Amino acid sequence: MSSEIHTQLQAIVQRYGPHIYQDRRRLVALLKDMLARQARSWQVKLLILSIEDGVLERLLQQLHRIPEPLLLENHARSFSESFQINPDATRWVIQSWLACFGPYKAELKSRAPARPRPTAAPAPPVKANREPPPLPQLEPVTAESPDAKGSLFRNSLKMTFVRLNPGRFEMGSPESERERDNGERLHPVTITHSFYLQNTPVTQEQWQAVMGSNPSHFKGDQHPVENVSWPLCEQFLERLNGHSEFRYRLPTEAEWEYAARAGKDSAYFYGDSPSSLERYGWYQDNADQQTHAVQQKEANPWGLYDLYGNVREWCQDWYAPYPESLQQDPQGPTKGNYKLCRGGSWKFAAAHCRSATRHLMRPGVASSDIGLRLVMAI
């Protein structure tokens, strides 16, 4: 059956051209028509799912930049994890698409239309920041291939991302944890998908390259950008995504804490002692009332720097009290009054830099100790 399906897939691409993938509805209709006899097979169902969910589109957008073995590994694993599908089945799907579209790699690269800009309305102006100058010309933000294990990714803005795999952890803090807040109710959370998290906060050099301005109070190319409100971060992401083949966003609060804990249940990823924070972060006792260049302190076990201290980091979620029950990939409520920052900063005591600490902030606030760290979805 597989060979017959492959023959029909190749016939569709040959007849309608390799850019047929951009018209998802039409491609699904063609598959259902030409593979009517196999329509109930798992192969056809998964091919259709991969089209409708955008797996095929994401795969082909990266085809000319990333070696096919790494594309196969990353997309097969991501597809499997997203829908809890047998990895051998998702591998067959990705292999099938690569076999059909691989010969058209050059054509897909040279004739692909420009990536459309997001159509979301611009965020309201932020009073705490001056009007930025006209935006500079931003070159396309490309990415190098991941390493042999697919665990690291780097883009042309010198951002490095670490792949974090799915897992389950206890979010919040136990009642016995020192300096805990009542809003840190302990509850189980499952992260069902892999994601890439930036290994440092966004630096001023990286922000300047995208926005053409630097709102930070403490200047330094390798210092974290700060004095940025949540809406201004969204403007940064909108512009970055408009020039990239990948999609960037802020982490959810659950993703941030999962990454910070690195599999540990203690107050900090290294243990429970506030005095040991000196080795891992810039905080009230050692920061000299300012930010510092990133990656000057030790990383956590998953290769992430500056999670504690230096600058607090915006998360995607609106604030809501924690539930008691098991949560799966929590996103927070759809609206609210407060956004969340994580990690503490140079101005906070060690107790307020714990993995579970939540900082509620009005989204329009910009402060010299608030920055951001990105997630890159593949």
Angle between helices 204-211 and 230-241 in degrees, nearest 10: 70
Strand 195-198 and strand 152-154: the pairing is unpaired
Residues 226 and 159 in one domain: yes
Taking CA atoms, 153 is separated from 94, 134, 213, 242, 262, in Å, by 20, 30, 26, 19, 19
d(CA 49, CA 56): 9
Mean pLDDT, range 291-302, rounded to an integer:
97
Give the residue with greater pLDDT, 135 vs 327.
Answer: 327
Instruction: Judge whether residue 199 has pLDDT over 70.
Output: yes
Query: Measuring CA to CA, which residue among 166, 162, 159 is closest to residue 150?
Result: 162
Residues 40 and 184 in one domain: no
Instruction: Judge whether residue 117 has pLDDT over 70.
Output: no
Mark which of 55, 86, 111 sits at the end of a domain.
Answer: 111
User: How much is the pLDDT for 69?
Assistant: 82
User: How much is the pLDDT for 109?
Assistant: 75
Q: pLDDT category, 232, cuts 50, 70, 90?
A: very high
Stated as kind and residue range, the H or E segment containing 171 is strand 167-171
Tell me the two tokens of residue 309. Answer: 């201290």
Residues 255 and 340 in one domain: yes
User: How much is the pLDDT for 304?
Assistant: 97
List the domain range (segments joined by +) for residue 283. Answer: 152-377
Residues 175 and 319 in one domain: yes
Q: Establish if 135 belongs to a structural domain.
A: no
Instruction: Judge whether residue 54 has pLDDT over 90.
Output: no
Give the residue with greater pLDDT, 163 vs 34.
Answer: 163
Mark which of 52, 87, 111 sits at the end of a domain.
Answer: 111
Residues 162 and 41 in one domain: no
Mark which of 79, 111, 143 sits at the end of a domain.
Answer: 111
Residues 101 and 244 in one domain: no
Q: Establish if 146 belongs to a structural domain.
A: no
Instruction: Judge whether residue 375 has pLDDT over 50.
Output: yes
Residues 24 and 159 in one domain: no
Q: What is the DSSP string of 178-239?
A: TT--TT---EEEEE-S-EEEESSPPBHHHHHHHHS----SS--TTSBP-S--HHHHHHHHHH
Q: In this predicted model, what pLDDT tens digit does every residue of 237-252 receive, in sequence order?
A: 999 999 888 899 999 9
DSSP tag of 164: E
Q: Establish if 45 belongs to a structural domain.
A: yes
Percent of the chain at pLDDT > 90 equals 60
- Beta carbons of 374 and 252 less than 8 angstroms apart: no
The count of domains in the chain is 2
Q: Which residue is associated with the tokens 């900090």?
A: 268
User: How much is the pLDDT for 176?
Assistant: 95
Q: Establish if 334 belongs to a structural domain.
A: yes
Strand 187-191 and strand 327-328: the pairing is parallel
Q: In this predicted model, what pLDDT tens digit does every residue of 258-270 receive, in sequence order?
A: 999 999 999 999 9
Q: Establish if 118 belongs to a structural domain.
A: no
Q: In this predicted model, what pLDDT tens digit does every residue of 341-370 receive, in sequence order?
A: 999 999 999 999 999 999 999 999 999 999
Q: Establish if 137 belongs to a structural domain.
A: no
Mean pLDDT, range 209-221, rounded to an integer:
96
Q: What is the CATH number of the domain that holds 189?
A: 3.90.1580.10
Half-sphere exposure of 276 (CA within 13 A, CB side): 11
Residues 174 and 300 in one domain: yes
**What rounded mean pLDDT belongs to the chain?**
87
Q: Establish if 141 belongs to a structural domain.
A: no
Residues 179 and 105 in one domain: no
